[in-house]
Chains A and B, each alone.
Chain A
Amino acid sequence: MRRKKMKNNTQTLTLPQGQTTWKFLLSEMKPKGKFLTPFNLISIPVMLLGLVLIVIRFWKGIGSITNLTQDTPWGLWIGFDVVTGVAFAGGAYVITFMVYILNLNKYHSIVRVTVLNGFLAYVFYAGALLLDLGRPWHVINPVIGNSFGTSSVLFLVAWHFLLYMLAELIEFSPAIAEWLGAKRARKILSGMTLAAVIFGITLSTLHQSGLGALFLMAKGKIHPLWYSEFIPIMFFVSSTFAGLSMVIFEGSISHRVFSDQISEKNHKAQHGIINGLTKICAGAMFAYFFLQLLVFIHEQHWALLGTGMGKWYLVEMLGFVLFPMVLFIISYRTFNIPLARIAAVLTMLGVILNRLNVSVIGFKWDMAIRYIPSWMEFIVTLAVIFTEIWIFRWVINRMPVLRDSPSWVNKEV
């Protein structure tokens, strides 16, 4: 889809140094930078192995490489790749909300990288979903034809994934236009940004909560400490700080790995940005913790705390929500950026725990034989993540995402 867009753009512009479109694109396809980096050495074998496993999966069926059973139809691929991955992609709608709706220009320099991150997350997690579908050749059915299952939450989520990818592509498209030097296309595309942002935030509100609403009908199958009618609200609220923690985490790595791309000004601004985000994270986490507490008291779950699952619940709530929240507050007050990074990582672990507790660990928690993902499921998940990082790196090295836009952009305004 992105490819098509590039081609459309190129027709309306003059390319740098008079190259033809194809030559330019081909030259950009080539890898840049050193090849034998530690990341490459780890990721390439995993991606190749993942590819082999995917071939086996489509040849012999899902059961050949996963431990899924009739009782636990959704495992790691849905619980982590899709449900958790989308929560981490939530940074895009929060940051675009802050920059385009609240007009907080301080955060403008991280919009593009966050949107790119979000877009790729959706593309790859929707891609991972295809691996988990038993009959993926019918994936187009809810979009076309007479098969609109409008009473299904999953129908809503599927449509929102599709539309939101489109919205994020539009939000990101000015960067593609700048890469190709497409001046007129850039003007048209950036004119669509606000509409795409408003549409995107609305979609995110609904599908972040929609992912939680998927589990509403599994009443009685999910451990009562994680099941309540408020799952959709919990998922929505936690997606804000999940996304922002991801922004802090990713930003800290990007500033190290791609430091040559980042201007002096943006480099200096980064600490201020992180500090601002820690405050928002802490606030959102407080709201989330309070909501969880209300539900816990309202449902009168005191007796469950003594059980093993109850202790596990306390680990999640105290160790990975309350504790990182306190760390965020301390780091904000003392302007302690390393501490903010630690808090972000803990928060992300907490979100992983929460999503897995709802979708996998707490699902059929009382079964005698529990589902434990096979090593092959982990490899495929890792392969998906690595592929995403490869594409991310490819884009960062070519398009003005972290670096400033080309000079013609500002002249034009």
Chain B
Amino acid sequence: MGIKRRSFLKLLGVTGITLAIGDSARAATSDSENDVEFTGILYDSTRCVGCRTCEYECATAHKLPEPSEKIPPVRKTDETCNTVVNTFQTDKGEVFIKRQCMHCNEPACAAACLTKAMHKTKSGPVTWDGDKCMGCRYCMVSCPFDSPKFEYHSANPKIQKCDMCAERMKTEKSPACVFNCPNDALLYGKRRDLIREARRRIYEKPELYYDHIYGEHEAGGTGWLYLSPVPFEQLGMNTSLQQSSYPELTKGFLYSVPSVFVLVPTLLLGIHQATKNNHLNHEEEEDEK
């Protein structure tokens, strides 16, 4: 009987710890836009001339190989380039679109990361910390934009993606792509101001713009915001993303953890006590205890 009481106390201890951990899980995902003001970048496709200066400057800033001159019109970012400018033929003629990590308000990659290597900083960028990352690639599985890229051919692989020049921002005022854009297609600032600016542009020239700011609500809102002359699906953008954030999808499961830890052991102990007499009826059968 003494063992039983002891095991019960042990279980109480375990449930206590779990409840505590469960609480911190809640706190970790609550950094939504309502609590802090994130910075972001507004990309206006109508102003982009497809010169790819941003690609070159990005590569220089992140010490990545220089992009090649001859390229297919549509590419994806990979472990050697954090941003690409794609070209699409649309009913409004040739339209360019710059792609990179979107820096979600509530990033799936950061919620997925079990070491907090992927991290949404207070100011807005989603950054990667090589001292914490174990290379499980769960961020890649989770990201709705497929932004994180992995160095498969390295013995010490890194995750590569746009970090909004987090390192550069310590000394400069804007990220490399924004600073060097020759045609003001990129605008860096507080996310709320950028949305206001984007609305103003659509309002003033409704014939020029497709009436939607991509990134305002997609995946719960992203740091990068897009304006375009044509519907975004014509530019290879995923328009079937949910409006709420992706970490929201696992919240229900994670919240059930503390209650399972309280209820299941109690239930099991109860059933064990209730069926204990089965043992007494079959004394002759050998028994662990």
Contacts and interface: CB of A to CB of B under 8 A. Distances in A.
A153 B254 contact: yes
Interface in B189-243: 238, 240-242
A213 interface: yes
Given A198-B11, A202-B261, A147 B117 contact: yes
A175 B284 CA distance: 21
A210 B25 CA distance: 15
B24 A194 contact: no
A149 B134 contact: no
Contacts of B144: 217, 219-221
A136 B157 CA distance: 10
B122 to A, nearest CB: 16
Interface in B244-262: 246-247, 249-250, 252-254, 257, 260-261
A193 B288 contact: yes
A150 to B, nearest CB: 4
A151 B272 contact: no
B7 A63 contact: no
A71 B146 contact: yes
15 contacts: A61-B154, A70-B78, A74-B137, A100-B272, A134-B150, A135-B135, A147-B117, A149-B115, A150-B28, A153-B254, A174-B288, A194-B4, A219-B144, A221-B141, A413-B287
B63 interface: no
Given A59-B155, A199-B10, 5 more contacts: A70-B78, A103-B272, A103-B278, A149-B113, A217-B247
8 closest A-B pairs by beta carbon, nearest first, are A134-B135, A63-B152, A195-B7, A155-B114, A73-B137, A135-B135, A217-B142, A73-B140
A299 interface: no
Interface in B127-170: 130-138, 140-142, 144, 146, 149-157
B36 to A, nearest CB: 17
Given A101-B275, A105-B278, A150-B24, A205 B264 contact: yes
A153 B285 CA distance: 42
A100 B278 CA distance: 11
A153 B135 CA distance: 16
A214 B249 CA distance: 10
B205 to A, nearest CB: 33
Contact of A201 (B29, B155, B264): B264
A406 interface: no
A133 B249 CA distance: 25
Interface string A186-201: 0000111111011101
A9 B112 CA distance: 40
Most buried by B among A68, A108, A202: A202
A138 B7 contact: no
Given A138-B133, A138-B134, A153-B254, A101 B272 contact: yes
Interface of B: 3-4, 6-7, 10-11, 14, 21, 24-25, 28-29, 76, 78-79, 108, 110-117, 130-138, 140-142, 144, 146, 149-157, 238, 240-242, 246-247, 249-250, 252-254, 257, 260-261, 264-265, 268-269, 271-272, 275-276, 278-279, 282, 285-289
B153 A60 contact: yes
Contacts of B261: 202, 206
Interface string A131-142: 011111011011
A232 B256 CA distance: 11
B135 A152 contact: no
Given A68-B152, A150-B28, A152-B111, A198 B141 contact: no
The A interface is mostly helix, strand or loop, or mixed, namely helix
Contacts of A210: 253
Contacts of A60: 153, 155
Given A102-B275, A199-B11, A213-B253, A135 B157 contact: yes
B223 to A, nearest CB: 19
Contacts of A363: 141
A156 B254 contact: yes
Contacts of B152: 61-63, 66, 68-69
B132 A151 contact: no
B249 A195 contact: no
A238 interface: no
Contact of B269 (A58, A190, A198): A198
A347 interface: no
A219 B155 contact: no
A61 B111 contact: no
Nearest to A160: B257
